[in-house]
Structure 1
Amino acid sequence: MYKVKVFVTLKESVLDPQGTAVKNSLNSLNYKEIADVRIGKYMELIVDKSDRNLDEVVNEVCDKLLANPIIENYRYEVEEVVTK
């Protein structure tokens, strides 16, 4: 069994109005050192071992559902889960 941590972020060329709003709020709270904020998504998937290649499965899931490949990038980390 695997735990897959998926991080989805907007591509650099895409405006992030939510990030801009958060940055402006932080600056108004006197956190002037905050220069930029980008908002993203984080998901954890628990994936059973199968005959299919894990990277293939995760990339398909991300491309089809978890991320919009037109405006978002994703990366993921995999760790094996030891069950007792």
Structure 2
Amino acid sequence: MKARVTVMLRDGVLDPQGEAVRHALGALGFAGVEGVRQGKLIEIDLAATDPATAEAEVRAMCEKLLANTVIERFTVEIL
């Protein structure tokens, strides 16, 4: 079973990497870009066979290691 985790900064938290990308896109001629938020995509192979168990396990991974829940939010998708 596979899981896909998307980690993004919470709204209101400054995203210097996203701002650097937005600036670079403007310098390359992409004038219509008003904002960029950059995050992480993590794919995990799991031994679990029950989707509910797998999701609970991945959520625990996110809360303990994969995401800084103070400034980041995450979503879990079981594939």
Question: Shared fold (TM-score greater than 0.5)?
Answer: yes
Q: Which runs of 4+ in 1 moved over 6 A?
A: none
Deviations 1:39-79 (A, max 9, x none): 10011000112688222211100000000000000002111
The alpha carbon displacement at 1:22 in A equals 0.7
Bigger-Rg structure (1/2) = 1
Aligned equivalent of 1:75: 75
Query: Structure 2: which 5+ runs fail to align?
Result: none
Query: Structure 1: which 5+ runs fail to align?
Result: 80-84
Within the alignment, does 1:29 sit opposite 2:46 as a pair?
no
Number of matched residues?
78
State the alpha-carbon separation in 2 of the partners of residues 31 and 64 from structure 1: 38
Q: TM-score, normalised by structure 1?
A: 0.86
Structure whose residues are more often helix by fraction: 2
State the alpha-carbon separation in 2 of the partners of residues 6 and 72 from structure 1: 12
Q: TM-score, normalised by structure 2?
A: 0.91
Q: CA RMSD in A?
A: 1.6
Structure whose residues are more often strand by fraction: 1
